Amino acid sequence: MSYRGRFAPSPSGCLHFGSLVAAVGSYLDARAHAGQWLVRIEDLDPPRTRPGAAGQILAELEAYGMQWDGPVLQQSSRFDVYAEAIERLTRSHFLRECTCTRAALARLPENQSRPTGTGEELFHPAACLAVDGAHAPGQALRLRVPAGAIAFDDRSLGPQSIDVAATVGDFVLRRRDGLYAYQLAVVVDDAAQGITDVVRGCDLLSSTARQVLLQRALGLPPVRYLHLPLAVDDRGLKLSKSGAAPAVGRRGGLAGQLFAVLEFLGQAPPAALRRESLPMIWDWAREHWRVEGFAGCAARAAPQVAC
């Protein structure tokens, strides 16, 4: 099977070091396998989308020397495709309606309701339904999650097993406001673009089991996964756009930042490479790419790199 990977940032802000790690890791893995690398803009949620951010992200990728294959896909143009997927799941009785409000979810114990970095609310439906005044007009659609663990392999971490029913419960595919959820869109688009390999941060490891469930429910081909170490700040918090992580710079520090990413990913670049040009660093990185360098999902502090 030929290799086809992708990088799928959300346009809620500029690239920070953590998103640069995901971009570089996915790009190198694709090129090291003589494969294709696509870019997809995950602009599903208009309130979280910052005007101009998508173009700025693409400009940053180009500045670092990353070249993508084919046109950039924007999820905001594909709502009709997601609607078709919802219809298929409805006909197969995989979905159920839910009118539980965010206010009701907020009143649940912490272990029954918690926000995620993908804009979702995870909760156990029975707990929500027990809350007085939990319902409101408008219905979300949730995937009916079967009992038992979902197994999949990670190319770095090895065999994984996650009990989605116990840890998440039925999860949202279409929100009460009519917007489609990340989990649905990413699975539909990966299949539509022929993605064979997903390389991303370990913060999305728990999402993988949900996406495997959706692939099976929709009859879509499986995907190989590789999760990268998570970059955190000096407080141990994940770098994120919503957390105001500092953007990577473009003034004279691109080669140094790429070198820092390679060190972060355990690629052990020689010190002399730091003084080379971007093309030289990329050539070395493609030839020496190895997933053994970052085995494990332990969070790592992002380096302080001057721009």
Q: Quote the pLDDT of residue 235.
A: 55
Q: Quote the pLDDT of residue 216.
A: 97
Class in CATH terms, 4-75+193-301: alpha beta
Long-range contacts of 263-267 (CB under 8 A, 24+ apart): 263/303, 264/21, 264/229, 264/231, 264/300, 264/302, 264/303, 265/21, 265/24, 265/25, 265/228, 265/229, 265/293, 265/294, 266/229, 266/292, 266/293, 266/294, 267/293
Q: Where in the chain is the domain with CATH 3.40.50.620?
A: 4-75+193-301, 79-185
Number of helices (H) and strands (E) in the chain: give both, helices first.
10, 14
Q: Quote the pLDDT of residue 301.
A: 66
Q: Quote the pLDDT of residue 13.
A: 81
Q: Quote the pLDDT of residue 233.
A: 66
* Weakly modelled stretches of the chain, pLDDT under 70: 1, 101-137, 233-252, 298-302, 304-307
Q: Quote the pLDDT of residue 121.
A: 47
pLDDT in tens, 15-63: 888 899 999 999 999 999 999 999 999 999 888 888 999 999 999 999 9
Pairing of strands 73-74, 36-41: parallel
Predicted TM-score (pTM) of the model is 0.85
pLDDT in tens, 259-289: 999 999 999 999 999 999 999 999 999 999 9
CATH number assigned to the domain with residue range 79-185, chosen from the 4 options 3.30.365.10, 3.40.50.620, 3.40.50.2300, 2.60.40.2310: 3.40.50.620
